[in-house]
Amino acid sequence: MFALIPLFPLAGAAVNGLLGARFLSRRAVGATAVGAVGLSFAAAAASFAGLLRAAEPAAVRTLFTWVPASLVRTASGALAEVRFDMAFRYDPLAAVMTLVVTGVGLLIHVYSLGYMAQDKSYARFFAYMNLFTFAMLVLVLGANLGVMFVGWEGVGLCSYLLIGFWFRKDAAADAGKKAFITNRVGDFGFLLGTGLLVYALGTADIAGISAAVEGGLLPKGAATAAALLLFLGATGKSAQIPLYTWLPDAMEGPTPVSALIHAATMVTAGVYMVARLHVLFTFSGAALTVVALTGAVTAVYAASMGLVQNDIKRVLAYSTISQIGYMFIGLGAGAYAAGIFHLMTHAFFKGLLFLAAGSVIHALAGEQDMRRMGGLRTRVPRTYRVFLVGALAISGVPGLSGFFSKDEILAAAFASGNTLAWALGLLGAAMTAFYMFRLIFLVFFGQERFSAETARHVHESPRVMLVPLEVLAVLAVAGGYVGLPRVLGGGAWFGRFLAPSTGAHGPHLAAGTELLLMAASVAAALAAIFAAHAVYVRGRGEPARRFAGKHGTLYRVVSGKYFVDEFYGRVFVGGVLRLGRLAAWFDRRVIDGLVDGAAALARAASRLAIGFDESAVDGAVNGVGRAHLAASSGLRRLQTGRIYNYALAVVLGVVLVITVAVAVF
Amino acid sequence: MNVLGIPILTFVTFLPAAGMAVLLLLPASRTRALKLAANAFTGLEFLATLLLLARFDAGSGGMQFVERWPWIKAIGAQYLLGLDGISLLLVLLTSLLTFVATLSSWGAVRTRLKEYYVFMLLLETGMIGVFLALDLILFYVFWEVVLVPMYFLIGVWGGERRLYAAIKFFLYTLFGSVAMLVGILVLRGAHRTFDWTAMIAAGGAVPAALQGWIFLLFFLGFAIKVPMFPFHTWLPDAHVEAPTAGSVLLAGVLLKMGSYGFLRFSLPLLPDAARRYAPAMVVLALVSIVYGALVSLMQKDMKKLIAYSSVSHMGFVMLGLFVLTPLAAKGAVLQMVNHGLSTGALFLVVGVVYERRHTRLIADFGGLASRMPVYAAVFLVMALSSIGLPGLNGFIGEFMILMGTFPVSWLWTAVAATGIVLGAGYMLWLYQRVMFGPVVHPANESLKDLTVREFAAFLPLLVLVFWIGVFPKPFLDIIDKPVERIVRIVNPAHYEAPR
């Protein structure tokens, strides 16, 4: 059953990609795309229901042999038959991921029917979206690192295509390319990590790796190296330090793409992958610390940039980087289920926020700059309401989904003894609430700062866009209750469900400590919301401007994104291009210079030795030093129709050489 | 051995030559008849090689359909043809690409049609012969036969600097093949035969020191053809000047003659030398990978860019061959086919716009995706195949090579993998500059999308790009036994019981 989940979107992509633009009506294109994801969601739901009833928590379905077996000499000296099957693995982790991908994906597909209604390349858009869904499902269902990598780079390709969807704009094409190449740097790590595991263990199967590591077959150093290499891949896909710079630029893509790929699903692939290989990361220990600290630092660092953005989508982009940082804090604390829990709730509320931002942009005819928004609360009330729900959820206001998942992560970090990660997480939580409500206040409150012309056309989005928003809003509120913690009287069902995939969660806190931590983060969030209100509603943004004026350097550094893009551009891109220029120069001047020089020498020698200059084959045996001269005379001869004589002469010459050489020998 | 009552290998080798004879009888003025005849013969040839595939026994690692006749008795050279899975795959690649290249020439070539097709068919006979010959003198003859028509294809139907390029190509490879011929003669001195099968059967009859010399002589012949750094500079010139079909066959097939030579002759006939020189070969391969990619980044001419990318990709093939593990070697053989398909297709891609605009400079394009959507899709698939996107053919070969290299050296693997990052760089940058952005040149406003015939030429390549990417097993099964056989000869230690 679960092998069917990815097939529907693949079929949808094929139909729309091959036939859509030419033979199908827009209606048919939309129905195909939405229907494909809908069927996929149904299959995911049915598989999930089956899993709840099944005796075994994991099933593997091998479709066919992909790369047949070869003998590999492993690190221990043994010979292992290494092969890669096209195989899917379905277990609680895969169940959660397929439900999120197809469920949120379905809502975003429906929303896109409205959002993209006016676009010329309707079929191309939906073909890419379906193809993305397919690749993402292959990624989360892959039973070995090879199949996972198919999905891993497949989603990267779709991301490239969809960021650059409006490819006539140079910025869009640039952003797509940047995303792909940055991700390739990460994939370099993924490939080497896979190679190391194959060499060390003779297998790339998830189950095989886990069993071998648990069986003590992997030295600790190798485990750490492999885990860190794979984690490099994760920092690319999930936009963490040091490979996060592509994600803000990715906002060039249509907004539903930002919601689906660059918020809800693809960017969490790194989180998924670490959880999938949790046995390896846990065993390494050191790698886990790196994961936690990378996440914690990224969470605060990205949030700081979110504070000063003026583009509504860029605020959300930095927020996404920051929130994924939280997921890695959770993983790094050994609380893999908590990381996946936040992945799921984030998919709900961040998908919601992006789509709602799309609704705002739609209402203002493409405007994305918050300085030209304001006062939209009464103009687009339904959008405002769902946006507010999303903002409350991400800020960690009690009772909403983000509260439960974020607090579980912070509690786990604290319990694991990594107080630094916890403290950074708490700081980040306050910053999150602040930038989110800064956004709310700038967009929906205060004066209308758009032109009168725009004001005349401001309109609430159509139902086809609003209904998915409202469904997501419900999920953003209620989605957290599947993981209601014990200390609040829940059963932590989510963690127990995932336990067969991600292991049972490590150390637990005393109930009092856990409640205290919760209180701290709630207080931080509420304080930040009030602060945002004071600055942007009561102070009309004046305090922020004063602050920026007083701390000009700090403001310039943060709003200049810490100049990391410039640094990377200069050092890495510039460095590679300089190397390229050097190599090209070397190639032309040195290597080819030697070749031409040798030829000229040979030509001179032959003239001296046999005076062979004017013979029929002079062009061929002589050098290229005087090629242009030879060219004109050679050309004339070719054009007199004596090609056959020429060919014959050469063939005969060759045969002659052989015969003589052989006879002499 | 006969199939359907005919000596099948002789038949597939000389069917194109027979076509050549037919074309010679046709008057040069009857262009349509010439085109039809040429396409018919390359098409028939492709079908004939499919017949080989149908009768091939993948369970055997040995030579099949062997034909043996005395030839030049005085020196003991025989007419000896045979085919194993490696040859089969390369013969199939050759017949397919020649068919595609001939088809793509339909509207592209307008001058001296008769001679053009005559040379194409002669070239095909030469290329097929190279992959089937098991007598080293016969191999050498076919090797040189290939040189001649390609020289004329570049020199007559090429671009502005065609003579410089043609002569450079001819001299450079002739120089290499003369070295190879000397190597063959020295090898005969040790074995008293030119018969490859007999040499294999004799095992280690050649002293290790002598092997080293022969290896170096063979190296000159094969490394120039591959081409490996630093013997590669004839390639960009030849590609830039060659007509589209010439580039397709040059990149698609001729380069494989070099790597095939290493695999068929250097590795199993000179195993001691191959093991000794393997680290040096690997270093050259790694330099080719990185250097080719870096130079590629800087190119302004589309064909030159793809030519340098070939240096990088063939570096992967050479790496796979010389780490001497079965996984990497199989990956290398598959990668020969993959490179033939994707790079051959990329030269066709360039040919399509060259025919419309008579320029290959990247700067003369931009924004074509909005004018030529089908072309954009085909170009994209081929570019992605070239940079090894999983799910397409190029990935399988690269992945097998990397996985097979890691147990030998993590450092080699890491260096090679940087080629994958750089590959994405030059290829996507090329694609962006040609296809994306606004249409800036008025001449590009009215460009026509692919015609049905142009698309038909791409279609078999597209099918294979996906097929090999998703389900490579049939292809890998064909080469499994013969590659294992060669690796077992050159690196028996790999198969020894656990240490």
DSSP string, A163-185: HTSSTTSHHHHHHHHHHHHHHHH
- Say yes or no to pLDDT of A629 above 50: no
User: Is B131 an interface residue toward A (CB < 8 Å)?
Assistant: no
Confidence band, pLDDT 50/70/90 cuts, at residue A632: very low
Q: Which of B141, B217, B233 to mutate to test the interface with A (most CBs of A within 10 A)?
A: B233
Q: Which two tokens stand for residue B278?
A: 């393997």
A116-133 burial code (b ≥16 CB/10 A, e <16): beeeebbbbbbbbbbbbb
Higher pLDDT, A657 or A566: A566
Is residue A27 predicted with pLDDT exceeding 80?
yes
First to last CA, chain A: 71
User: Distances in Å between the alpha carbon of B146 and those of B15, B120, B223, B225?
Assistant: 15, 10, 16, 12
B58/A contact by beta carbon, under 8 A: no
Q: DSSP letter for A143, please.
A: S
Binned at pLDDT 50, 70 and 90, residue A620 comes out as very low
Q: What is the DSSP letter of B498?
A: P
A655 touches chain B (CB under 8 A): yes
Q: What is the dihedral of CA B61, B199, B71, B5, to 10 degrees?
A: -20
Distances (CA, A) of A133 to A179, A426, B147: 18, 34, 49
Weakest mean pLDDT among A41-50, A119-128, A615-624, B91-100 = A615-624
Give the residue from chain B lying closest to A572, CA to CA.
Answer: B422
Query: By three-state DSSP, how is residue B82 classified?
Result: strand
Nearest CA in chain A to B164: A627
Token pair for B75: 């020196």
A192 touches chain B (CB under 8 A): yes
CA distance A294 to A315: 20
CA distance A633 to chain B (A): 10
How far apart CA B219 and CA B452 sit, in angstroms, is 43
Residue A628 has pLDDT above 60, yes or no: no
- Taking the Cβ of residue A601 and every Cβ of chain B, the question of whether any pair is shorter than 8 Å is answered with no
Q: Which two tokens stand for residue A102?
A: 């197809």
- Inform me whether the C-beta atom of residue A185 falls under 8 Å from chain B C-beta atoms: yes
Tell me how close the Cα of A599 comes to any Cα of chain B, in angstroms.
Answer: 9
CA dist., res. B336 & res. B261, Å (int): 12
Q: Which runs of E-coded beta strand occur in A142-272? A: none
The Cβ-side half-sphere exposure at B220, using a 13 Å CA radius, reads 19
Nearest-Cα distance to chain B for A618, in Å, is 10
CA pair distance A194, A379, nearest whole angstrom:
53
Give the chain B residue whose CA is nearest to the CA of A168.
Answer: B437
Q: What are phi and psi of B354, to 5 degrees?
A: -65, -40
* A73: contact with B, CB 8 A cutoff: yes
Q: Do B410 and A579 touch (CB under 8 A)?
A: no
Length of chain B: 499
Q: Say whether pLDDT at A658 is over 60.
A: no
**What is the per-residue pLDDT across A34-62, written as a single tens digit (0 to 9) for each?**
999 999 999 999 999 999 998 888 999 99
Q: How far apart are CA B253 and CA B128, in angstroms?
A: 10
- Interface contact B400-A67, CB threshold 8 A: yes
Run of H or E residues at B72: strand B64-72
SS3 A205: strand
> What residues in B contact A589, CB-CB < 8 Å?
none
Q: Are A432 and A522 in contact (CB under 8 A)?
A: no
Closest chain A residue to B118 measured between Cα atoms?
A644
Whether B395 maps to a domain, the answer reads yes
A164 interaction partners in chain B (CB closer than 8 Å): 436
- A193-220 burial by CB neighbour count: b if 16+ within 10 A, else e? bbbbbbbbbbbbbbeebbebbeeebbee
CB atoms within 10 A of CB A16: 27
Q: Is position B291 within any domain?
A: yes
Beta-strand pair A59-73/A79-90: antiparallel
Give the other-Cβ count within 10 Å of A474's Cβ. Answer: 14
DSSP bridge partners of A61: A88
Q: What is the C-alpha separation between B8 and B50, in angstroms, rounded?
A: 11
Beta bridge partners of residue B44, listed in sequence order: none
Task: Supply B413's token pair.
Answer: 């693997």
B185/A661 CB distance under 8 A: yes
Q: Which pLDDT score is estimated for B2? A: 67
Give pLDDT, residue A654: 60
Distances from the Cα of A98 to the Cα of A79, A238, A363, B47, B370, angstroms: 36, 18, 32, 45, 35
Q: Does A80 touch chain B (CB under 8 A)?
A: no
Distance from CA of B498 to the nearest CA of A (A): 5
Higher-pLDDT residue of A589 and A614 is A589
Examine residue B320 and state whether it is found in any structural domain, yes or no: yes
User: For position A627, what pLDDT does the model report?
Assistant: 42
Are the C-beta atoms of residues B347 and B247 closer than 8 Å to each other? yes
Per the CB < 8 Å rule, is A662 touching B72? yes
Structural domain span for residue B397: 287-490
Regions of chain B short of the pLDDT cut 70: 1-4, 499
- A64 with B471: Cβ contact below 8 A: yes
Measured between CB atoms, does A152 come within 8 Å of chain B?
yes
pLDDT of A485 reads 85
Bridge partners, residue A60, by sequence: A89
Which residues in B98-119 are b (16+ Cβ under 10 Å) and which e? bbbbbbbbeebbeebbbbbbbb
The verdict on residue B116 lying in a domain is no
d(CA A253, CA B229): 41
Residues 6+ apart with CB under 8 A from A478: A401
Instruction: Confirm if A180 and B424 have CB atoms less than 8 A apart.
Output: yes
Do the Cβ atoms of A638 and B422 come within 8 Å?
no
What does the pLDDT read at residue A622? Answer: 42
Local structure of residue A66 (DSSP, 8 states)? E
CA of A589, closest CA in chain B: separation in Å?
A: 11
How many domains is chain B built from? Answer: 1
Select from B75, B77, B163 the Cβ nearest to the Cβ of A635: B163
Cis peptide before B230 (omega within 30 of 0): yes
**A184, A572, A589: best mutation site toward chain B, by most B Cβ within 10 Å?**
A184
CB of B202 less than 8 A from some CB of A: no
Residue A19 in contact with partner chain B when CB distance is under 8 A: no
Contact check, Cβ <8 Å, B390/A152: yes
CB-nearest to B75 from A67, A167, A662 is A662
Helices of type H across A416-510: 419-444, 452-457, 463-478, 493-502
Q: Which of A71, A75, A627 sits opposite B167 (nearest CB)?
A: A627
pTM recorded for the entire structure: 0.92
The alpha carbon of residue A602 is apart from the nearest alpha carbon of chain B, in Å, by: 11
pLDDT of residue B161: 85
Determine the length of chain A: 665
The shortest C-alpha distance from B56 to chain A (Å) reads: 19
Residue B208 located in a structural domain: no
Instruction: For residue B447, tell me if it sits in a domain.
Output: yes
Q: Are A454 and A364 in contact (CB under 8 A)?
A: yes
Residue among B178, B367, B498 whose CB faces A168 most closely? B367
| Residues from chain A contacting residue B389 (CB–CB below 8 Å) | 153-154, 157
Residue B410 in domain: yes
Query: Do the chains contact at B155 and A634, CB–CB below 8 Å?
Result: yes
B positions 68-107 inside 8 Å of A (CB):
72, 74-75, 77
pLDDT at A633: 45
Provide the pLDDT confidence category of residue A525 given band limits of 50, 70 and 90: very high
Tell me what pLDDT residue A593 has: 86
A507 pLDDT band, cuts 50/70/90, is low
Would you call A559 exposed, middle or buried from its count of C-beta atoms within 10 A (0-12, 13-18, 19+)?
middle
* Residue A506 pLDDT class (50, 70, 90 cuts): low
pLDDT band at A665; cut points 50, 70, 90:
very low
Chain B positions in Cβ-Cβ contact with residue A78 (cut-off 8 Å):
498
Radius of gyration of chain A (CA): 30
User: What tokens appear for A540 in the block?
Assistant: 């009309």
**Rg of chain B over all Cα atoms, to the nearest angstrom:** 22
The 10 Å Cβ neighbour count of residue A508 is: 13
Q: Is B440 inside a domain boundary?
A: yes
- Chain A residue with CA closest to B229: the answer is A591
Suggest the residue from B150, B188, B295, B413 to mutate for an interface test with chain A (most A CBs closer than 10 A). B295
Chain B residues in contact with A146 by the CB 8 A cut-off are 390, 399
**pLDDT the model gives residue A637:** 46
- Residue in A72, A628, A650 closest to B407 by CB: A72
What is d(CA B64, CA B482) in angstroms, rounded to the nearest whole number? 11
Q: How far apart are CA A658 and CA A664, in angstroms?
A: 10
- Averaged over A621-625, what is the pLDDT? 40
Task: Evaluate the CA torsion angle A275, A281, A282, A285 in order and state its sign.
Answer: negative
Residues of B within 8 A of A650 (CB-CB) are 148, 151
